[in-house]
Structures are given as structure tokens and as C-alpha cells.
Amino acid sequence: MSGEIENVLQEHRRFPPAADFAAEARLSSEEAYQRMLRESLDEPELFWGRVARELPWMQPFERVLDWSKRPVAQWFVGGKLNVSVACLDRHVNSVRSGKRAIVFEGEPGDRRTLTYQELHQEVCRFANALKARGIKKGDRVAIYLPMVPEAAIAMLACARIGAAHSVVFGGFSAPALRERILDGGCTAVITADGSWRRGLVQPLKAQVDEALSSCPDVHSVFVVQRAKNEVVWSARRDVWWHDAVALVSAECEPEPMDSEDLLFLLYTSGSTGKPKGIVHTTAGYLVGTYLTSQFVFDLRDEDVYWCTADVGWVTGHSYVVYGPLSNGATVVMYEGAPNTPHFGRFWEIIERHKVTIFYTAPTAIRSFMRWGDEHPKKFDLSSLRLLGSVGEPINPEAWIWYHQIIGQGRCPIVDTWWQTETGSIMITPLPGLTTTKPGSATRPFFGVDAAIVDEHGNELGPNQGGFLVIRRPWPSMLRGIWGDMQRYVDTYWKKFEGRFYFAGDGARRDEDGYFWIVGRIDDVIKVSGHRFSTMEVESALVSHAAVVEAAVVGRPDNITGQSIVAFITLGPGFKPSSELRADIDKHVIHEIGKVARPAEIRFTEALPKTRSGKIMRRLLRDIAAGIETVGDTSTIEDYTVLAKLRAYED
């Protein structure tokens, strides 16, 4: 195995936590850490049972873990609780009642603050509005909203009545939304008239209308009035959010939920075309996000915490909503783009709200770098005490820039590795404790038994590249793929015969036991931290009338991490042209959304294939990256294809 996944990155710089940070941190002694770590691994039931008991239960659990139905874990068996109670009621019934829960800033500059008490009321009101439309425990509700407080309110309201939410990123288009609504069997949609992005209104409601033209089971659409753009209205189906909450009570009894009841579905891409509805349940997910928020972000009551992720992705679920709110934190939410109306927008927000903890993605950091140091330098960033990174490997150059220019050399950086599937952070520094190395997510979190193994599941030695696996269940792990348990087993457990969870990432562990994640080893492309399967973009491409065959690969990109390059063969009667290219581009945007738009479309007469007809993606990847193909090409069906591809010119 080693040698197959090369990792040439050599990084020798070390950053121990600053003494003053460590002095104040929740955890700063290696000894205390080792004790906790040992307990979490040697006596996981004791460890996780104790953490879980910090949360409010309606009925105590009888067993911490039941792994007898592997690979589907059951955590906190027999317990009942409600996630919205853990995130709201317990703070409202404490000194935190008047504390700010959400500090919102819209792109046009409007602002809104919700205390825990106010958020609680809004959630209860909207929960009652959902009920008034017949939505009940066990139903699935699609949420297609911009980053406005109503997104968090809607999620928590669903949780309160026991309906599962399925949040669909607002950047996805109508067909992508429709596919997710249908797959999840959603019966209601929560959206907005429009959202603000780079000074323009994105017409969300229009996308919903298009999606619902073939979703007969959706009986209700709740519409937040955000951008005041014109919308088409269906009197029977549509209801304004403000009308729906006007007449209902601000009290709503929380539904007692079983620990293993469904909390949400979240669709993500795998190596085939169909998105997977990742299943997360109630108690384990809450416990995982609660504990990681506490230790990874060293959350304290005085903190103003800002995670820039959209609620459409798992980071927005776990580290905008459930993790920080269950800890009673003050959460900043921003609707728009980082460069609107100026390139310092994020730094202005940090200065204005005195943000102390800032969590963002490498692709954003690389954009900030390119835009220039003068923008952050115009603002007072002295409130910051901790920085975080997530979504893809962070290159050391971006890490150092983040540390020096944003963190001003003072703030530890937590580079957190996890996935939609893991629900919460798995490999990460602990900021008061871990000496960081730029580019490494460092060590596994409590209870996480991560390892690097070869093809046969044998653990590899230091600095040997292999597959990243998790060798035991953890509370916030996925419980399956919605409607397709076989795919769950095949994707994550088959590779190592049910012994380990296979993450799909290549990695190595260095001599200090630090993990260095190289990236995906399957056909998943990460563009600006958004996850796409090559096949999903390919099927969008081939649904264009002119396209016969398409192969999509990821090409390294200095800003977005990877970008999409599409190789396309055209049907008879179609000729390459820039108009056709633009039209295909438009088609992908219509089918999936702007986020999946190919950076480059290359027309070709044929695709390189093996004799058995498999597209040789490795070759295409090299060609897309402009690398001279080495490796073995002896099984190529038609050598001239390769030459033609390389010589490609419009």
C-alpha cells in the first residue's frame, strides 16, 4: 500500500499553544488529557455515559452502547430526550436566559439579535405553526433557506416536534432540490422568497416552485420574507412564515424522542451519481457535537463564536446550530459573501461583534490571502483567541498566513478532520494542549480509534501512506443511508469486511502519531470544500442533448482546492463551439447549481478506456493537471485518444 498513496509534504514547523492561552484553557495538561483519552478508549461506556448525563433527559438511558446490530450502532439505549430542550430550555431556565444566542448580520447590512429566551419563543412558535399544518413526529421536512436566523429556528422547531429535517444547500438548483425532497419523502418545505448574495437576490422560492412541479407529497411550503422579491403563490400550499407564526402560542411541549429516533437527513455525495441521505439520530449526535464544541473550541460563556459554514452542510448543522447552542454559546451568523460590499467584510464582522472564535474553510483562507493583507489589517482583530479550519487539507502556506495575519501569531489553530458521516469532529488539536504542525489535523479526539491501514486492514507504520479507518463506533456516527442500508454497508464497511469504518480518505500518521490527511481516494471531488461525485456531474452533463459521453475529474486549484474539469464527447451533428460550451455550462448550473460548474470543458473525440471499457480517470486527471502521464498505459484501448486529448485545442 505504501507508495500507492504518496505524501511528499514535509513540514517541520511546530506551534505549541501560547502559555497564556494554555493557562486559561479547559484542558492544558498532557497528563489530564491522557487520563481522559485512556478512559474514553478503555471504558467508553463510563466516559460517554458521564458526558451524556450532562444533557437533559426525559427518561434516563439504560445502556450506553449496543453494537450487536453492527454496523448500525445504538447509543444511549432506552433514553428519551429532545434536542431542542438541550439547546434552548436548559439555558432559558438558567442565568443564560437573556444571553445572546444568535447574532445575525444580513448581507445588505441589517442586523438582528436573539437571546436564548427569544430564540426559544421563536422555535416554539414555528413548531406550533408546523403542527398546525399537520406536520408531526416522524415526518421529513426539507429546509431550503439562506443563512438567516430562521434556518436555525426551523431546524430546532423540527427537532422540537420530532420531525426530521433535511436541509438542502441554497446554492443547489431545482432538480437537485427535487431529487432530495423525493428521496427523503419530505412532505413540507421551508424556504424564503429570496436571499442576498453579492448584492443580488437569489430567487429561492422560484427554485422550490420548479422542484415541486413533480413532488406530489409536499402539502405545505413555509416562506420567509427575506428579499421581498416577487414570488408566485399557491394559495393552497404556500404560507408566509410571519403569517404562520402570528396566531400560534409561544409555548410548545417538546416531543419525547428516543435516543435513536431520526434527527435529520443530510445529503452528501459519494462515488456514484446518486446523493446519499446520511442518517443522524438524536442522542449520540447531540452528545458528539456537544462535547467536541466544548473541547475543540474551548468554549466559554464569554465567547462570541463564528463558524462561517452554511447550514446546508454538516458543519452548519454541528457547529453553527447543535454544538454551540447545546453549550449555550453566542453564535454569529452572516448571510452573504465575504467580499460584499468590500473585501474586508468578515474582518469588519469580527471587529463589530468582538468575535473570539473563528472557524472557516481552507478555500476561504486562500481567497483571503489572494485578496491581500490590507483588508484584514484595516480592522481590529484583537478579540480573536482561537481559529479553526475544516473541509479539506489546509496547505502549510495558508495555515501560516491564517496564523500570522488573522491570528496575529497569538491564536492556536484547530485543523479539524471529520465528515458528514461522522457527525462531529474526529481528528483535531485540543487548543490548550496540542503542539500543532501546519497541515496536520494532529490526533484523534476522545473515544476515536483512528488508524492507517493497508489494503488488507493491517496497520501501517509511521509515515506510510494508507487508508484512514475508524476501528470502533462513536456516538455521532451515521446510522445508515436513507432508504438504502445495503449502500451503507457497501460504502463504509465492506472494504475491511465489517471490521472498520472506511472513511474514503488517504492519510499517513507521522512519528508523533499525528495524522496527515491527503484527501479522497474515491471519485469524490472537493470544490471549495463542497463535496461532489464525479458521476453526479457526469450524469448532469450527459443529460444535455449534445453530450454523448462525459468524464469528470478534479484538478488541483490554488484557491478552491480542486476544480472540476469535464471531458466531453459530442453526438453526431454537434460541433465544439464556445456557444455550445456556454450552453452545457448553463445546463450543469440548472441541474445541480453554480457550485458544480466545471472550471473547464474539453471536447474530445473519444475518452481513454481500458479494454473492459472503464474510463481511465487517472490519465484524465494528469492531463487536466497538465502533468505528463507516467504510469502504466498498456491497457489503453486506443493510444491515439491519449495523444488527441493532450493536444486538445479549441
Q: Which residues are CB-contacts of 36 (< 8 A; sequence separation ≥ 6)?
A: 27, 47, 446
Minimum Å gap between C-beta 420 and ligand WT7 is 3
Cβ distance to ligand WT7 smaller for residue 398 or 433: 398
| Closer Cβ to ligand WT7, 423 or 447, answer by number | 423
Cα 370 from Cα 419, distance rounded (Å): 27
Residue whose CB is less far from ligand WT7, 269 or 356: 269
Report how far apart, in Å, the C-alpha atoms of 123 and of each of 19, 128, 141, 245, 546 are.
41, 9, 15, 10, 48
- Closer of 187 and 420 to ligand WT7 (Cβ): 420
- Distance separating alpha carbons of residues 125 and 122, to the nearest angstrom: 5
Minimal distance in Å, beta carbon 34 to ligand WT7?
A: 23
Q: Can you tell me the distance from the alpha carbon of 279 to that of 488, in angstroms, rounded to the nearest whole number?
A: 10
In terms of CB distance, is 184 or 275 closer to ligand WT7?
Answer: 275
State in angstroms the smallest separation of the CB of 391 from ligand WT7. Answer: 5
CB of residue 588 to ligand WT7, shortest distance in Å: 19
Distance in Å, CB of 8 to ligand WT7, minimum: 16
**Rounded distance between C-alpha atoms, residue 326 and residue 287, angstroms:** 9
User: Which of 220, 416 has the CB closer to ligand WT7?
Assistant: 416
The residue with cell 463564528 is 306
Instruction: Judge whether 44 and 218 are in contact, CB under 8 Å.
Output: no
Closest CB to ligand WT7 among residues 188, 427: 427
CB of 401 to ligand WT7, least distance (A): 17
Q: How far apart are CA 350 and CA 424, in angstroms?
A: 25
Report the residue count for the chain: 650
**Cα(397)–Cα(256) distance, rounded to whole angstroms?**
49
Strand partners, 102: 114, 331
**DSSP code at position 97:** G
Nearer to ligand WT7, 144 or 516 (CB): 516
The residue among 121 and 424 lying less far from ligand WT7, judged by its C-beta, is 424
What is the contact surface with ligand WT7 in residues (CB under 6 A)?
Answer: 268, 313-315, 390-393, 415-420, 441, 503-505, 517, 519-520, 526, 531
> Cβ distance 172 to 203 under 8 Å?
no
Q: Residue 44 corresponds to which amino acid? A: P
Task: Name the residue number minimizing CB distance to ligand WT7.
Answer: 420
Kindly state the smallest distance separating residue 418's Cβ from ligand WT7, in Å.
4
Beta carbon nearer to ligand WT7, 96 or 520: 520
Nearest approach, Cβ of residue 336 and ligand WT7 (Å): 20
Smallest gap from Cβ 241 to ligand WT7, in A, equals 28
Give the shortest CB-425-to-ligand WT7 separation in angstroms.
8
Least distance (Å) between residue 504 CB and ligand WT7: 6
Element (H, E) at 434: none
Quote the cell numbers at residue 193. Answer: 422568497
- Of 222 and 502, nearer to ligand WT7 (C-beta) is 502
Computed on alpha carbons and rounded to an integer, the radius of gyration of the chain in Å comes to 24
Of 82 and 293, the one with the shorter C-beta distance to ligand WT7 is 293
Beta bridge partner(s), residue 451: 469
Alpha helices in 411-533 (DSSP H): 485-492
To the nearest whole angstrom, how small is the minimum distance from the Cβ of residue 93 to ligand WT7?
32
| Contact (CB, 8 A) for 587 and 579 | no
Cell representation of residue 270: 459519494
- Give the residue among 285, 239, 292 at the shortest CA–CA distance from 265: 285
Look at residues 91, 436, 434 and name the one whose alpha carbon lies nearest to residue 295.
434
SS3 6: coil
Rounded to 5 degrees, what are φ and ψ at 614? Answer: -80, 135
CA 517, 362, 410: angle at the middle one, nearest 5?
Answer: 100
Scan for cell 417538546, then name that residue.
254
Residue 76 vs 532, nearer CB to ligand WT7:
532
Question: In 3-state terms, what secondary structure has residue 450?
Answer: strand
Terminal Cα-to-Cα distance of the chain (whole angstroms) = 40
Question: Least distance from C-beta 520 to ligand WT7, angstroms?
Answer: 5
CB 368 within 8 A of CB 403: no
